[in-house]
Amino acid sequence: MTEALKRDYQLCEELGRGRFGVVFKAIRNGDAFAVKSIDKRIADSGDSLDAQCLLTEPKILKLLGSHPNVVNLHDLYEDDDHLHMVLDLCDSPDLYRRVTLRVFSESEASSVMTQLLHAVAHCHSLGVAHRDIKPDNILFDGQERLRLADFGSAENFGEGEKMGGVVGTPYYVAPEVVAGREYGEKVDVWSCGVVLYIMLAGFPPFYGETAAEIFDAVLRANLRFPATVFNSLSAALKDLLRRMLCKDVSRRFSAEQVLNNHPFGLFSGKWKMGKLIWGCLGTGHPWITSAEEGARAVAD
């Protein structure tokens, strides 16, 4: 552990583990933070893309500056073996945990979406595409404010510049990425659309049992609204989903357009409890077949 970090912060319990390191709680002057400590040796021993991801995250977070819906970088410490990022503490359950427990009402989903799209619009205005938006990377801080996290796959694109490379997680990835074409920042709007659909329905819009089947479904982009789930939801909401999950990128809304043009306020506030049947192959999550099982999985 870097000496300077130990001097400046009181390090507390472990909060979680990722592929390359550990996240701890840390206190400084009575304020709590999360410290994401990356072991550079683990990353260097793997594929070079992984090592690149490690350096990407602090660089992108610095570029993004401070935003109320992004996990902000407060400090950065580095020595030969470790990189420590001091981040906003998000110790409330993440969106993945929340959607495995129950489906969301329109008003709950709209509150999450509004905050998420503010984060995404901020990133895009600074030329940053997140490229891996999914419930696991949507965290909540102690004030229950949404914070977009994990910028390890993000890319800094220039004005009018296109990106390439298959990056993301099967259920959430946009068709132009799966097709291997060049793409722009609207891939994030597609992923937000998938997140919105899952919050409301409890299952993903483009489904398959294997990664290959999911990619086929994403490429077909045949958006359906099963009556059992969607009949009780507003026409405005279905229209919004069509505009976010639009295969034609030129017709797909930007994050800014969704925020400016869509009547989020019209969403009704009905609660819907339902059977949740969905999986997340990209992150190895188990199948969750009911709200009860979801609750058990989280408790375990």
Q: Which positions are annotated as active-site residues? A: 132
What does the block give as tokens for 281? 């192959």
Residues 34-93 binding ligand ATP (CB under 6 A) are 34, 36, 71, 87-91
Q: Report the distance separating Cα 167 and Cα 184, nearest Å.
A: 12
Q: Which stretch binds ligand ATP (CB under 6 A): 15-23, 42-50, 170-178, 193-201?
A: 15-23
Q: Which stretch binds ligand ATP (CB under 6 A): 2-10, 17-25, 185-193, 213-221?
A: 17-25
146-148 and 138-140 beta bridge pairing: antiparallel
Distances in Å between the Cα of 194 and the Cα atoms of 51, 60, 150, 280, 281 are 29, 24, 18, 12, 15
201 binds ligand ATP (CB under 6 A): no
Q: How far is the CB of 263 from ligand ATP (least distance, A)?
A: 32
18 binds ligand ATP (CB under 6 A): yes
**What percent of the chain is helix, strand and coil (3-state, nearest 5)?**
40, 20, 40
Cβ proximity to ligand ATP, 58 vs 152, nearer residue: 152
Task: Show the binding pattern over residues 117-156: x = contacts ligand ATP (CB under 6 A), - = does not.
Answer: ----------------------x---------xx-x----
Which of 96-108 are b and which e, b meaning 16 or more Cβ less than 10 Å from the residue's Cβ? Answer: bbbbbbbbbbbeb
Q: How far is the CB of 38 from ligand ATP (least distance, A)?
A: 8
17 binds ligand ATP (CB under 6 A): yes
Cβ proximity to ligand ATP, 88 vs 106, nearer residue: 88
The CA angle 130-143-22, to the nearest 5 degrees, is 55
36 marked as part of a ligand binding site: yes
Known binding residues for ATP: 36
Known binding residues? 36
Binding site for ligand ATP (CB under 6 A): 15-19, 21, 23, 34, 36, 71, 87-91, 139, 149-150, 152
